[in-house]
């Protein structure tokens, strides 16, 4: 769904930061950050890492949500979504 964006908003609000402060940190505008939070735009991998630093959050936690959103976006609507995910998991887990 929008796990990454929701987390971002949660972290931002818990720190009492404004969109424009996060935007400045990422060297972009508030519209972009707003869109990140509502999953209307996709963050670059590098931006996820920067945000992890800003929010003192484990990078892999944010990366997992960020990647998961992308996977969801890819497989969502496909009847074979679950099956395909399982195939991929097996493939990866068997190195």
- Which x/- pattern, by CB under 7 A, does the window 40-59 give for DNA? xxx-x---------------
Q: Please tell me the distance from the alpha carbon of residue 77 to that of residue 28, in angstroms, as a whole number.
A: 32
Q: Can residue 94 be called a binding residue for a second copy (CB under 8 A)? A: no
C-alpha to C-alpha distances, 60 to 10, 21, 66, nearest whole angstrom: 17, 23, 9
- Cα 34 to its chain centre, rounded Å, is 13
Q: Can residue 20 be called a binding residue for DNA (CB under 7 A)? A: yes
Q: Please tell me the distance from the alpha carbon of residue 12 to that of residue 8, in angstroms, as a whole number.
A: 6
The minimum distance between CB 65 and a second copy, in angstroms, equals 7
Residues 6-65 that bind a second copy (CB under 8 A): 60, 63-65
Which residues of the shown chain bind DNA in the complex (CB under 7 A)? 18-20, 28-32, 34-35, 37-38, 40-42, 44
């Amino acid at each position: 769904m929008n796990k990454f964006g929701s987390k971002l908003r949660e972290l931002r609000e818990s720190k009492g930061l404004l969109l424009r402060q996060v935007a400045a940190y990422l060297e972009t505008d508030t519209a972009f950050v707003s869109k990140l939070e509502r999953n209307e735009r996709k963050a670059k991998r590098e931006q996820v890492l920067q945000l992890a630093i800003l929010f003192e959050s484990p990078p892999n936690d944010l990366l997992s949500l960020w990647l998961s959103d992308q996977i969801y976006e890819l497989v969502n609507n496909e009847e074979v979504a679950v099956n395909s995910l399982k195939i991929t998991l097996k493939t990866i887990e068997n190195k």
